[in-house]
A and B are shown apart, each in its own frame.
Chain A
């Protein structure tokens, strides 16, 4: 059963990866990128020319068969799309018996949904004749995807990452360096994702001529929120068809984690016009909303301008950005994409916090019931699905965007669950030391076989 029109699918079945950019969604911002009162461009004038250039390049590419064909080819042969839909029957037993279906973005090359957007923007970078790419990263998933695309397409790559995050996601730092990217630990402000974006913006203002800022989420100035969304629409387009085929009906609810909101908007979008489908975004509740230590921007924030767009943000009464907190580096962000702000205001999507403890419980449950280690980010969506399933009962169907895999989080999880015994703590200290050595290794040390032995063992 298919509800999409001709041209959507491959001759051999399945949704074309490029369909999300080749077609308009019916939920477009205005010409200046406003979703209702949100979005737009709150940027230095110095960046406007580059944003206009990017907007034009994207508009041209989305109707260019050559570009669309190249994107389709890469997503099929390199990313591994379409990503599968996995039934999770044993997890369902913990969700009031509701049927839980996992959209397996974790199985994409580089381990998360981030590659959907990155390959698209990297191809655009080449088209714009730029040779250098910069990007921010929180958990490192976007940084790894960007470093990967740059290696593939021969682009210079510099990744800004908060110093706090380089420590808690040391494995991904090593991955990026192995892929030839330069990783810059950002030591200003809260030393997390927010500050990495600040530093990337400063770099872009300075080097905008030959540099593309490959923004990794649906935030930032126009055209990023709409363009990044479109590159991720494939998640929803594929999974909508897969759910229909598998169950003969639409899901009752779609669950996704929300930091900046890229994987959530990617899967939500295909269901916006299905009023019977609840769209629920799960934000990082950290230690609990009541403690003030969280990153639940849509739950607790208020409208304001940050990082180039009007949206919800966590701020104090003077408009200073508040520091967010989450066990998950990828969700630890005090802003959110502007389209989510609109979806909240009009009531089309709802947003709920999931605490660290709830996320980690779901993390463990998915590991043991289904043999899938999720990213801690995605574990927030799994926890949300358990909640939704209990509300819906055995007749319910919940589609979960499993946006990333958890290899990068094994260390954090092992510590959380106390799986590292006393005798292993010494080893752990050594493991940390190895990670830190990898972290401080310059690019040149990777060229020296002697110097990199320990890093490679990671």
Chain B
């Protein structure tokens, strides 16, 4: 299974993919494995396993608090790799989402090697732009990992082109200018950023930041190939544990299925 396979499988069902984020080690290492497995049971197509980090500048209060809790509980990078290994063994498809310094410190090539051998499919890097990614480009290629870079509403066309060219698996479009956190409405710029990316890439485009309900998921899935949900799952885990997470995944998964095939999506190969 690759990230491309995950999106192809969804496209074959005439729908977008549901991508669910939770930080590894939250609330404990074992607990996070349970929660991630519950995401899959609820209907998530791809898991985003977060590496808790001390200085998460792209995250709002919900994910900050979860990361802080995971770190206080002593979560290490090797624990994150074991979480990836366990959820992958249980049948999930997982990428890691991480700020770059933990990867640098681990050793860029060593991290790619160990993540690949744990069954991880790729890495989302919110504070690494392709301009600074030479070592990561080499390591991810060497170990067969997808590299998922971000584009933003403020990205110029030139940067959309270069970022898409450096990406594989899917292209991550942040739907708003801002940090992570559930919001009541889907930003009006979200369809625009996806539409601006389409001419420059045949990669699937995932949209993140702010989605928390089935209706919002359906709205995003009407124009994007993947709906990325994070903070809302953390809140669901806090309030309802495993059942809460599974129920929210089911609601969002239903929304994605209801939307049908995303407008403008590349044809499945």
Point out the residue from B68, B100, B156 that lies within 8 Å of A305, measured CB to CB: B100
B residues within 8 A CB of A209?
A: 154, 177
B residues within 8 A CB of A194?
A: 55
A residues within 8 A CB of B56?
A: 198
Known: A41-B129, A48-B129, A305-B101. A198 touches B155 (CB 8 A): no
B131 within 8 A of A: yes
B residues within 8 A CB of A42?
A: 100-101, 127-129, 132
Chain B, residues 164-194, CB within 8 Å of chain A (1/0): the string is 0000000000100111000000000000000
B residues within 8 A CB of A208?
A: 154, 177
Stretch at the interface among A102-110, A290-298, A312-320, A415-423: A312-320
A46 within 8 A of B: yes
How many angstroms between the C-alpha atoms of A350 and B128 in the bound complex? 30
Stretch at the interface among B3-11, B102-110, B115-123, B218-226: B102-110
Interfacial residues of chain B within 71-100, with CB under 8 A of chain A in the complex = 71, 76-77, 100
A306 within 8 A of B: yes
Known: A42-B132, A45-B163, A202-B57. A319 touches B179 (CB 8 A): no
- Give the one of B55, B106, B163 with max A CB within 10 A: B55
How many angstroms between the C-alpha atoms of A47 and B128 in the bound complex? 12
How many angstroms between the C-alpha atoms of A48 and B128 in the bound complex? 11
How many angstroms between the C-alpha atoms of A201 and B56 in the bound complex? 10
B20 within 8 A of A: no
Q: Give the contact-size bracket for chain A.
A: 35 or more
Q: Is the CB of A206 within 8 A of B100?
A: no
A residues within 8 A CB of B104?
A: 303-305, 319
B residues within 8 A CB of A319?
A: 53, 77, 101-106
Point out the residue from A205, A304, A317 that lies within 8 Å of B57, measured CB to CB: A205
A residues within 8 A CB of B129?
A: 41-43, 45, 48
How many angstroms between the C-alpha atoms of A292 and B169 in the bound complex? 43
B residues within 8 A CB of A45?
A: 129, 149-152, 154-155, 159, 163, 174
Q: Is the CB of B105 within 8 A of A317?
A: yes
A8 within 8 A of B: no
Chain B, residues 41-73, CB within 8 Å of chain A (1/0): the string is 000000000000111111010001000100100
B126 within 8 A of A: yes
Minimum CB distance partner of A305 in chain B: B101
Q: Is the CB of B126 within 8 A of A44?
A: yes
Q: Is the CB of B179 within 8 A of A206?
A: yes
How many angstroms between the C-alpha atoms of A202 and B60 in the bound complex? 8
A49 within 8 A of B: yes
A residues within 8 A CB of B179?
A: 202, 205-206
> 8 A-B pairs, CB-CB below 8 angstroms?
A40-B131, A41-B129, A42-B127, A46-B150, A48-B129, A202-B57, A307-B57, A315-B105
Known A42-B129, A43-B127, A206-B177; further 10 A-B contacts with Cβ < 8 A: A46-B155, A46-B174, A48-B154, A48-B155, A49-B156, A189-B55, A205-B58, A208-B154, A319-B53, A319-B77
